[in-house]
Structure formats: structure tokens, C-alpha cells
Chain A
Amino acid sequence: MTKKILCIIMTFTLAALALLAIRQEQINAAHTIVENHREMVRLQQQIEQIRVDIEIATSPETLDAQTVELVHHDEE
């Protein structure tokens, strides 16, 4: 009888621990997903910013201004 009770208690304990572990894993996974999502969005925004920076640096207006500057520099 005692063995049976101990066996039941042990089984329930193990089951509870397993459930807790699964739950914890779920929480960790949700946290990681959200963090990764945030990082993805942040990197995407960074890429957008870099695209715009490149476009500004290579725009005809900027290049013209730089050419004029270089010509002035050469003349001096």
C-alpha cells in the first residue's frame, strides 16, 4: 500500500515537474521569439537607414557639390 502511495506521489511529482519544465520552456521560447523579432525589426530599420545614407552620399546633387569642391581644391 505504502509503495503504491509513494509510487503515485512520485509519478504526480514527476508529471508536475515535467509540466513545469515545459511551461518554462514555452516562456523562454516566447521571450526569445519576441527578442529576435525586435532585433529583426531593429536591423531592418538600420538597413533602411543605411540605404538612405548611401543614396544621399551618391546623389547627383552631392556628387556635383563634391566635384565643385575638388575643382576648387585643385585650383588652389
Chain B
Amino acid sequence: MMKSESSRVTIVSILLACIVFVGMTAALCKVVLLKFDPPEELQALSVHVNSRTTPIGERGDILDREGRILAASTVGDKLFVDPSLVDDPEELAFQLAEAIDMSPAEIEEKIRLRSHTKYAVIKNLLTREESANVRELKLRPVGIQQRLVRTNPQGASCEKIIGLVGSEHTGLAGIENTFEKDLSGESGFLGRLKDSRNRTLWVSPEDYTPSKQGADVQLSLDVVIQNIATAHLHDAILECNAGGGRIVVVKPSTGEILAMADLLNPREGWSQQPTDPQRDIDPRLGRNRCLTDPYEPGSTFKPFVWSVATELGLATPDEMLNTPSGTPYRTPFGRSIRDAHYYGPSSWEKVLIKSMNSGMAIVAQRLSHEQMQNAVNDFGFGKPTRIGLGGETRGILTPSSKWSDYTQTSVAMGHEIAVTPLQMAQAFCAFARDGTVPQLKLMKHNHGDPMIVQKAVSPETTALTRTILGKVMTEGTGRKAQSNLYDLFGKSGTAQLPKKDSRGYFEDRYISSFIAGAPLHSPELVILCVIDDPDRKIAHYGGTVAGPVVRNVMDDALSYLGVKPIKDAFAQVNTH
């Protein structure tokens, strides 16, 4: 009995084992068949089981000195269609046109133009609403692809300095280009095994590399001061119908550039207009004339020669010079030098206050050529400031081999030399400091960062020059630019516009400029404004055209920075 039962169990077990074996073998055969020769209806439904995606490595932000975003990357949506999956382009175009702001005809044309491919871009950047609309449609040939979008939230005032990125999100111009290595991010990689419903089955550790975000770059610029400077410059250009204008605001204690603007005003019927064809393509591609285009500084150059001559003991402030009373001064080598006004014999101090060309020429002849060339070099002229932006020029300086007595007297008046606005602002910082010229920088200066400076004149001469430049604002050519709030020290310049195609200058066209620092006793800012070719019928003197711009920007910027006004504006208004 026991034996027969045991044999039955054995038979059942063997049978079961056989059934399982046959079943397993059949299943295995089916798997092999499905793998190597799947039926056509299943082939259509099959999907790639491996998915590879590249998580986007975002570009770093560009920030101003207070941490405001000047440029940032966000992710936008690009709309594309796979034309190979489209049966009726017209119908699809009508469906899409309802979701995005485009005409059906335009959409259809884009699909038909790339009908032989699997990728036709319909719209490069969708709005959030459009993106949601397209997603709702759930159309099979339609896809949404993520793309990086570079945004400048602060508007147009800073865009020329920031520059722009190209379609590959790499910097093409400006800061975007200069700091490309720091700003650019690295895309990652994610490979995964997925099922037919796109659910992840597996991710191997070696199949995942996280994306790297680019580093942020913090600039020395201040958006508020940049806006103030741009607005005042814009108004002044329109007011005097000038061809353009440039302005630079520098913090002399650190050499940081707080604002830098360059505007053009296309005027009809004017020859030799300042132009920039790149700006027509994109304003951000245009050159920044504050560092590319040198100009003749005119009388704004006099303080540099004045301070060096004083430092060398070749003239003292109260020394009386034999400046002419009514006719132009004639140099020993026969050059005739005109003054705007003739004051008769004047002190060396008065020469700077009243901006007398004759007095400058008299003392310039006491300097050797080498001394004058050294003075020009010590203030940083003739070499680029190296702030890091592309296209910077070194200005134009007569080579020492061609330096003549004529050059010597010309340079003393700011002629026969061309400087960039950046060089000029940098050099003037010496008078706002202790006679040292700081390295200009476009990156924020952090406490403890080393300062690179070059000595130009002694602190004593600097203090003396600054005092005289303060008198320029009360007794000299800067009176119209004096502020009601702060004591300024500055100098105006009105240089004739050089002709481009021939030697010589226009008789009635000028480059008007004004440079100043404030407050007089503890300077916080140095501002230079250059107005290109103002309409002479309206105004043309540097003190009248560019001076008020410097004063207005100085007042607004210092107030914004919290610098206490030295003068009581209300009291002054009441007195007047």
C-alpha cells in the first residue's frame, strides 16, 4: 500500500516536472522568437529601451556690485514637429496655430520646407501659455524641446557691457565673452533603461553624470548709477543735438568702474557722424567706444601737465607768467597759440583755473621732452587699461622719435594726443587719491583684494592740484557745472573735431568733455563725460555741454550712495 502510494507520488512529481520543463522550454522559445523575429504588429509598438538624456548645465549669472542680476539663464521651450509623422500638414498647422501665436500658413510652410527630415523647428521660444497649450493638444508629431534662454532683466542700459550669447549659449561679446570660461556650465549625462510606457527600469551608477552649473560673475557696475548716467547722457545728447556721447563713472579708492555708457545719435545731414554698423545688427554687438575710440582731450589734459610741472619745481602756483594781453602767444619756434580769453600776465594757478593755452605752452617748454613723455606715461596714457573687455585701444601718442617742440606745446594743451575715456578717468583718479593711478577693474573689489597702483605725482602736489581744480568750478571754466550739493573739482575740455579723411580740424565742430571728482575733500567718485560733436548753434563748450551731465550724475549718484551733501541746497536756493 505504502509502496504503490510512493510510486504514484513519484509519477506525479515526474509529470509535474515534465510539464514545468515543457512550459519553460516553450516560454524560452517564444522569448527567442520575439527577440529575433518579432511579428510586424509588435514591431510597430516596440520602443528603444535605452534612453539617453543630457541634463542642461546652466550658465552662471552676471551680477552687479549689489548682487542684482544683470544676465541669467532660464529654460525655455522650443516647438518642433517631426514631418515624417505628419499625414496632413495643413490640418496640423491649423491645430498648432490655435495654440501658438503664429499663422497656419507660416507653420505649414515650415513643415513642408523640412518634409524630408524628422525635425522642423516651428517656434524657437514659446511663452509659458503657448507651451501649456501645445502640451494640452497631445499631438504625436509635435514635440517640445528645452533650451536655455539668456535674459537681461535690467533692460538696455547695461546690455552693451554685458554683451550677448550665441545660439550655442556661448559668449559672443562683452562680459559674456570675456568670462566665457567661468560662466559656461557643463551638461551632464543620464542613461536609463525604460519600459514601453517610458517608466524607468534601471539606471547604472556609471550612466549618470550630473550637470555642472557655471560660476556667477560679480561686476563692479552698479545698475542704479548706470541708469542715472545713461539717462542724463541721453538727455544731454538730445538737448544739444550731438552725434553721440560717452560717460564713465569710477570709484577712485578702488579703481572700480561703477557705470560706463556709450550712446549714438544718428543725425541726418551731418558729415563724419560717429557710427557703429555692428549696432544695427544687435546693439550688444557694437563696440564700446569708452574703450575703443580715442578722442583729443583738449583742456581736460592740462591738470596732468600742470601737476607734473609743479612737482618738478618748474613753476610755482603764484609765479607770474608773461601770458599775452590781447594777441596770441608766439613760441620761440614761431608757433602762434591762441587763448579763448586774454587775461594779460597771470599766475601759474590762474593758468589752470582759466584754462589758458599760452600759460601751458610757456611752462611746457621748461620741461624736457623726456619729462613730458614720462608724465604722460606715469598717468597711464599710451597703454590700455586692461579692464578685460575686448577691443580696447591704447590711444594715440606721438612716438618719442618724432616728438618735437611743437608736440611738447600741443600735448600741454591736450592736442596731438588721443586718449580713451577709460584712460582719462583712470588718470584723473590720481587727483582723487594720493597721486597714484589705480588699476581700473570691472570686477567687484572685495575687501582685502590687493590694489595695483602706479605713482604719478606726490600726495602734496595732488592736494594742491585738487584745490586748484576746485577753484576751476567756482572761478573758472567749470562754473556752470558746479553742484548745489557737493563741492566738485574738475576741468572742462573743448577740442576741435579732427577731420577723418584729411589733415586738420573742423573750424566749427568740437568734442566737448568734462571730468570731475567729488566731494572735494574726500573724493568718492570720478566722472568723465564726452559729448561728440554737439550742435554749435545750441552749445559747444565742455563746461556748458558735458559739465551739467557730470554734475547731475554726481549729485544723483552720491545721494544714492549715501554721501551726505556738504552744501545745503535749500539754503542756497533761498539765498539766491
Contact = CB atoms under 8 A, between A and B. Distances in A.
Given A45-B75, A48-B75, A52-B72, A34 B192 contact: yes
A64 interface: yes
B203 A2 contact: no
A55 B203 contact: no
Interface residues of B, number: 27
A33 B55 CA distance: 15
Interface in B458-499: none
A59 to B, nearest CB: 5
A2 to B, nearest CB: 5
A60 B201 contact: no
A71 interface: no
Interface string A30-66: 1101110000010001001101100110011110100
Question: Is chain B's interface secondary structure helix, strand, loop, or mixed overall?
Answer: mixed
Given A2-B9, A59-B153, A59-B154, A30 B202 contact: yes
A60 B199 contact: no
B223 A51 contact: no
Contact of A30 (B151, B155, B200, B223): B200
B13 interface: yes
B202 to A, nearest CB: 5
Interface residues of A, number: 23
Interface in B214-265: 223-224, 227
Contact of B72 (A1, A5, A30, A55): A55
B202 A56 contact: no
A76 B203 CA distance: 65
A27 interface: yes
Contacts of A34: 190, 192, 200, 203
B227 A61 contact: yes
B341 to A, nearest CB: 41
Contact of B223 (A5, A49, A59): A59
A45 B128 CA distance: 13
Nearest to A57: B153
Interface in B433-449: none
Contacts of B75: 45, 48-49
Contacts of A31: 199-201
A48 B74 contact: yes
A1 B223 CA distance: 89
Contact of B68 (A27, A30, A33, A55): A55
Contact of B74 (A35, A45, A60, A61): A45
B355 interface: no
Question: Is chain A's interface secondary structure helix, strand, loop, or mixed overall?
Answer: helix
B200 A55 contact: no
Given A30-B200, A41-B55, A60 B69 contact: no
A52 B71 CA distance: 9
Interface in A1-44: 1-2, 5, 26-27, 30-31, 33-35, 41
A19 B55 CA distance: 33
Contacts of A30: 192, 200-203
A51 B72 contact: yes
A27 B202 contact: yes
B385 interface: no
A27 B201 contact: yes
B29 to A, nearest CB: 21
Interface in B41-85: 55, 58, 68-69, 72-75
A48 B202 contact: no
A26 to B, nearest CB: 8
Contacts of A41: 55
A62 to B, nearest CB: 8
A48 B73 contact: yes
B202 A55 contact: no
B72 A48 contact: yes
Given A30-B201, A48-B74, A55-B72, 11 more contacts: A1-B6, A27-B202, A34-B203, A35-B200, A48-B58, A48-B75, A56-B151, A60-B227, A61-B154, A61-B227, A62-B155
23 contacts: A2-B6, A5-B13, A27-B200, A27-B201, A27-B202, A30-B192, A30-B200, A30-B201, A48-B72, A48-B73, A51-B69, A51-B72, A52-B74, A55-B154, A56-B151, A59-B68, A59-B154, A59-B155, A60-B154, A60-B227, A61-B154, A61-B156, A62-B155
| 3 closest residue pairs by CB, A with B | A55-B153, A61-B155, A34-B200
